[in-house]
Amino acid sequence: MSVKFEDRPLNKVREETIDQLVMNYGHGELSSEAFERRLDAAMDATEHSQLAALVEDLELKPDTSYDSMKEQKFSPHYGEGRAQPTENVVSILSSNERTGVWTVPREITVYDFLGSVELDFTDAVFQHPDVTIKVVGMLSSLEIYVPEEIMISTNVFNILGSTENKAPSMGKLKQVPHIRIEGFHVLGSVEVKVKRTIKEKFVAFANSLKETFNSKNFY
């Protein structure tokens, strides 16, 4: 016996609704304006009935091919790689960064004095489920960019400084990398944020899906 629609977890219904919107937009059943309008409404919905109304006129539903493409697009990148277990990132009166596709070690120690460091995990390849970032800084800034499907926890001791985590914890119910940030900062800042919001990722995924279906139809 299936669970009543109104008794199902709202976030689960929201995810299914968004998947159906993406699927129909990808097949050309929705205009880009209608897709983004309904996507915004789905993300803001607080009731099951609001979500149901957004897809009641749409016939196409996600299939196994869609699920596979979504898993590949949204899941954190895992790989064996050749990264050392630990890595030091040093910035003294300068700037340093790790961006693009790079292999994440188990532990990163940031030494940041009168400088700035950027660690961008958006397209990084993870080798370990748990990653620790140790911060030692003074008169400096550390910016950390993460995808939304990453768990973040912070425990940084600040003296006349700040630690701000703007990244939502989207991965509480599934196996995703967990980044722990610890250490101390004097007269500096540590900021964690998302480079691409979940809406931006869904729009990009929907557009790539549409291009894929259009190319198949063309040939």
Q: What is the mean pLDDT of the chain?
A: 86
Q: Which residues of 109-148 are buried (b: 16+ CB within 10 A; e: fewer)?
A: bbbbbebbbbbbbbebbbbeeebbbbbebbebbbbbbbbb
Q: Mind listing the pLDDT tens digit for each residue in 117-170? A: 999 998 888 888 899 999 999 999 999 999 877 889 999 999 998 999 987 655
Q: Mind listing the pLDDT tens digit for each residue in 30-56? A: 999 999 999 999 989 999 999 999 999
Residues 82, 120: one domain? yes
Residues 87, 138: one domain? yes
Q: Mind listing the pLDDT tens digit for each residue in 61-83? A: 988 888 888 877 776 667 665 66
Residues 54, 119: one domain? no
Could you tell me the residue range of the domain that residue 52 belongs to?
A: 5-75+198-218
Residues 110, 163: one domain? yes
Residues 171, 208: one domain? no
Residues 9, 41: one domain? yes
Is pLDDT at 218 greater than 70 in this prediction? no
Residues 140, 204: one domain? no
